[in-house]
């Protein structure tokens, strides 16, 4: 009502009964121009009503992991003020600062009350081929596409990280997930396409999706040609089906961290190199790779700016009642309740450990609809703006 403090005091002295005051800060034009440009991607869920440390639970801003937050005030070292991007409610609320949240998580870890997402149980992930002895040719609809099927089928203990260890991170040291500063980014016309990374839970059959999408447009999409130490077959050409190298050369490259992942199958080594990805991008093609989730930490760099798609099969509850021998089991074939449970656990483990690194979840109902959705995602990736870590964009 635009009154001076003395005028308000006089009005209050003459009033009777209960009085409710609503104080709204004045917004000046210069304040609009100085609007914060700091944006954070939340890497955890936050419910203010469950946070006893907040100075005012009603003033807290609830958010979910993956939400983009515009931090409007960093003045307080413990509690930031932020708004959710895309939220119709423009009111800013209190959220714990990055430093404060990290201190709380570190303390909980020290006291043993912080759940460890790095489960020691080795749940299998989606593999390249369903045949144990597969060394399949990469032909699809008459087109040869390198790397359509991996010639090795690896368990997690067989697959190696670039450091040569099955799991390079220390499972006893949790990653303190709080916020990641992000900015809007759109690929420029002369810029190399972003790397597209597919990860999948059991039953996702992501290699099949990759086959179909690339075969439809091999001039636009491609895969990285893998390396192998196995002898070249008579019909194979160097650099087309594989890069054929000696075991000594392969091991030297592995020692020098030149592979995003590699493994051994039937006494032969197979791997996907970082240089093979660069080779595809140099041709101005979008490179599609499917890897084990552990490789995401290696690929998340400013050079590749990866867009990570997590593919998981839709598991209908009705499948529980189907007979294992029933033809109604669909493209997954004959499934038992144990199979379905393993598929659920596989998806849950990936979500628990790697959800904060995933840009899009693709729920695969069937191959045709999943391919159509994947094509739409790839097309949008070339023409629309997305949120990326600031460190990938700013020098």
Interval 206-224: pLDDT, tens: 988 998 999 999 999 999 9
Tokens of 234: 């008579």
- Tell me the pairing of strands 79-84 and 93-96: antiparallel
**What mean pLDDT is predicted for residues 371-385?**
95
Tokens of 136: 């399949």
Tokens of 135: 């060394």
Q: How far apart (Å, rounded) are the C-alpha atoms in residues 94 and 82?
A: 6
C-alpha dist (Å) from residue 107 to 64, 95, 113, 114, 178: 22, 19, 9, 9, 14
- Tell me the pairing of strands 68-73 and 38-42: antiparallel
What is the Rg, in whole angstroms, of the alpha carbon atoms belonging to the chain?
26
Paired with 265 in beta bridges are 268
Which residues of the chain are in CATH 3.30.63.10 domains? 222-283
pLDDT given for residue 27 in this prediction:
52
CATH of 32-115+176-186, one of 2.60.40.10, 3.30.1490.20, 2.30.30.40, 3.40.605.10: 2.30.30.40
Q: How far apart (Å, rounded) are the C-alpha atoms in residues 163 and 168?
A: 7
Contact 109, 171 (CB under 8 A): no
pLDDT given for residue 117 in this prediction:
53
Cα three-residue angle 254-260-263, rounded to 5 degrees: 60
Contact 243, 225 (CB under 8 A): yes
Contact 192, 301 (CB under 8 A): no
| CATH class, 222-283 region | alpha beta
190-220+285-316+338-384: what fold? Rossmann fold (3.40.50)
CB count within 10 Å of CB 91 equals 10
pTM of the predicted protein model:
0.78
Task: Name which residue leads in pLDDT, 372 or 168.
Answer: 372
Which residues of the chain are in CATH 3.40.50.300 domains? 190-220+285-316+338-384
When mean pLDDT is compared across 24-38, 44-58, 330-344, the lowest value belongs to 24-38
147 has pLDDT over 50 = no
333 has pLDDT over 60 = no
Q: Phi and psi dihedrals of 5, rounded to 5?
A: -55, -40
pLDDT given for residue 37 in this prediction:
86
Interval 296-325: pLDDT, tens: 999 999 999 999 999 999 887 654 444 444
Over pLDDT 90: what percentage of the chain? 57
């Amino acid at each position: 009502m635009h009154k001076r403090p003395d005028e308000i005091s006089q009005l209050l002295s003459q009033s009777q009964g209960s009085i409710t005051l609503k104080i709204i800060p004045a917004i000046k034009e210069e304040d609009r121009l100085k609007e914060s440009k700091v944006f954070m991607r939340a890497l955890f869920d936050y419910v203010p009503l469950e946070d006893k440390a907040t100075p005012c639970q009603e003033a807290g801003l609830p958010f979910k992991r993956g939400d983009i937050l515009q931090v409007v005030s960093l003045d307080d070292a413990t509690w930031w003020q932020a708004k959710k991007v895309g939220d119709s409610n423009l009111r800013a609320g209190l959220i714990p600062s990055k430093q404060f949240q990290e201190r709380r998580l570190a303390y909980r870890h020290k006291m043993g009350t912080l759940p460890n997402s790095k489960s020691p149980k080795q749940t299998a992930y989606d593999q390249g081929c369903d045949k144990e002895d597969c060394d399949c040719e990469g032909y699809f609809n008459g087109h040869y596409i390198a790397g359509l099927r991996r010639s090795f089928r690896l368990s997690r203990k067989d697959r190696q990280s670039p450091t040569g260890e099955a799991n390079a991170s220390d499972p006893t040291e949790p990653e303190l997930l709080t916020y990641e500063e992000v900015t809007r980014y759109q690929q420029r016309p002369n810029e190399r396409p972003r790397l597209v990374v597919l990860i999948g839970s059991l039953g996702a059959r992501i290699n099949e999706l990759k086959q179909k999408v690339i075969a439809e447009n091999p001039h636009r999409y491609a895969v990285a040609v893998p390396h192998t130490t196995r002898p070249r077959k008579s019909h194979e050409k160097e650099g087309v089906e594989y890069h054929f190298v000696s075991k000594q050369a392969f091991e030297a490259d592995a020692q020098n961290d030149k592979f995003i992942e590699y493994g051994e199958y039937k006494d032969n080594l197979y791997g996907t190199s970082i240089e093979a990805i660069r080779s595809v991008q140099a041709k101005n093609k979008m490179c599609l790779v499917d890897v084990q989730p552990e490789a995401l930490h290696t690929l998340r760099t400013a050079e590749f700016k990866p867009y990570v798609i997590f593919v998981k099969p839709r598991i209908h509850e009705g499948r529980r009642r189907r007979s294992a021998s029933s033809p109604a089991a669909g493209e997954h074939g004959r499934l038992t309740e144990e199979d379905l449970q393993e598929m659920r656990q596989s998806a849950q483990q990936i979500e628990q450990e790697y959800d904060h690194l995933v840009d899009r979840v693709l729920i695969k109902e069937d191959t045709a609809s999943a391919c159509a959705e994947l094509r739409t995602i790839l097309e949008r990736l070339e023409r629309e703006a997305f949120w990326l870590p600031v460190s990938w964009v700013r020098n």
